[in-house]
Amino acid sequence: MISVSINGKVRQFDNSITIATLLEQMQLTGKRIALELNGEILPRGQFNQQLLADGDQLEIVVAVGGG
Amino acid sequence: MNKDTLLIAGKSYNSRLLIGTGKYKDFTETQAAVEASGAEIITIAIRRSNIGQNPNEPNLLDILPPSKYTLLPNTAGCYSADDAVRTLRLARELLDGHSLVKLEVLGDPQSLYPNVVETLAAARTLVADGFQVMVYTSDDPIIAKQLEDIGCVAIMPLASLIGSGMGILNPWNLQLIMDRVQVPVIVDAGVGTASDAAIAMELGCHGVLMNTAIAAAQQPVLMASAMKLAVEAGRMAFLAGRMPKKLYSATPSSPTSGLIS
């Protein structure tokens, strides 16, 4: 069991999964998002390889209206 | 005469009105206001995505495609240089390497006044990292010059507080900034209605950035049109050069001879 913080919410997973699988579970595959893993940008091209690890901190962002 | 365009970081824009996309009723209204304004540079904010709780959430980038507009991601809500830099790195990834950004580091949530110390620090980091930084700042001409020296591509002083609609309260400070910096000076914050935008342009500012003045109008789309015309009119008046102000006019507009007796 691993614990991962995603946008400030802690989620638990049985096994280590890839970022791509995580995004699929959250129905975010193919959406216009950007992702930061432990304070560093994770390029889209790495979503398929990058495995989540216990204690990871993820920020997933989108564009919204703003001035 | 050459076409009068706004040149930012080597790219020309026909519109000198830049608008934000916050506070609209819905994306339909946002899109209509953007269209009516004629703006080419549109600011957006970066926020946490839903993480599965709202899978059909509409996406702003679908109605404002980066292929049609120059999207200017901002750092609204950031109170430290570190947060602002992180936000813009995420924005660059989100927008496929787009490097033109709006930096704003706020000082407190009551005034939304800029924290210029953190702003300077963030600007240094961002410029070194290859960003083209348009920077929201105070109307301090010394700070404005320092931001230009760091390499910012536009200086964007407030004319009054963000969202206040108080208008151009600092024309002399704006003039001091324009006298000192070579890059475009764009009034960012404070405009309340069309005449405010015209005043900023008549002063010689290179552009005006606004959000609330349009979004919080009773009819935002109509106000967007008004702002487009005001910015154009103000710019033309600046280029035309206004007549000198005189307390008394000793030169009538009509002939002084040929009067009937």
Examine the pLDDT at B88 and tell me if it is beyond 70: yes
Task: For residue A52, tell me if it sits in a domain.
Answer: yes
For position A50, which CATH number holds? 3.10.20.30
Contacts of B49 in chain A (CB under 8 A): 7, 28, 31, 33, 60-62
Residue B169 CB burial class (10 angstroms; 0-12, 13-18, ≥19): middle
Q: How far apart are the first and last CA of chain A?
A: 42
Region at A34 (left for phi over 0; alpha for psi -120 to 50; beta for the rest):
beta
The pLDDT-based confidence of B1 (bands split at 50, 70, 90) is low
Q: Exposure pattern of B247-257 as b/e (b: 16+ CB <10 Å)?
A: eeeeeeeeeee
3-state helix, strand, coil in chain A (%, to 5): 15, 40, 45
pTM of the model as a whole: 0.93
Task: For residue A67, tell me if it sits in a domain.
Answer: no
Selected catalytic residue, list B102, B228, B245, B246: B102
The count of domains in chain A is 1
ipTM for the predicted complex comes to 0.94
Examine the pLDDT at B249 and tell me if it is beyond 80: no
Nearest to B51 among A7, A63, A66 (CB): A7
pLDDT higher at B248 or B213: B213
Residue B237 CA, chain-centre distance (Å), reads 19
Contact A33 B51 (CB under 8 A): no
pLDDT higher at A13 or B36: B36
Average pLDDT over residues B184-205: 97
Residue B9 CB burial class (10 angstroms; 0-12, 13-18, ≥19): middle
Contact A67 B23 (CB under 8 A): yes
* Residue of chain B nearest A10, judged by CA positions: B51
Contacts of A61 in chain B (CB under 8 A): 46-49, 90, 94
Tell me which residue of A54, A40, A57 sits closest to A5, measured CA to CA. A57
Task: For residue A17, tell me if it sits in a domain.
Answer: yes
The pLDDT-based confidence of B185 (bands split at 50, 70, 90) is very high
What pLDDT was estimated at residue B222? 98
Task: For residue A29, tell me if it sits in a domain.
Answer: yes
Task: For residue A30, tell me if it sits in a domain.
Answer: yes
Structure tokens at B8: 């930012």
Nearest to B212 among A34, A36, A67 (CB): A67
Helix (H) or strand (E) holding B245: none
Q: What is the mean pLDDT of chain B?
A: 95
Rg (CA), chain B: 20
Task: For residue A55, tell me if it sits in a domain.
Answer: yes
Look up the domain containing A29 and give its range.
2-62
Average pLDDT over residues B44-63: 90
The pLDDT-based confidence of B53 (bands split at 50, 70, 90) is confident
The pLDDT-based confidence of B256 (bands split at 50, 70, 90) is confident
Task: For residue A34, tell me if it sits in a domain.
Answer: yes
List, for residues B131-170, the tens digit of each pLDDT value.
999 999 999 999 999 999 999 999 999 999 999 999 999 9
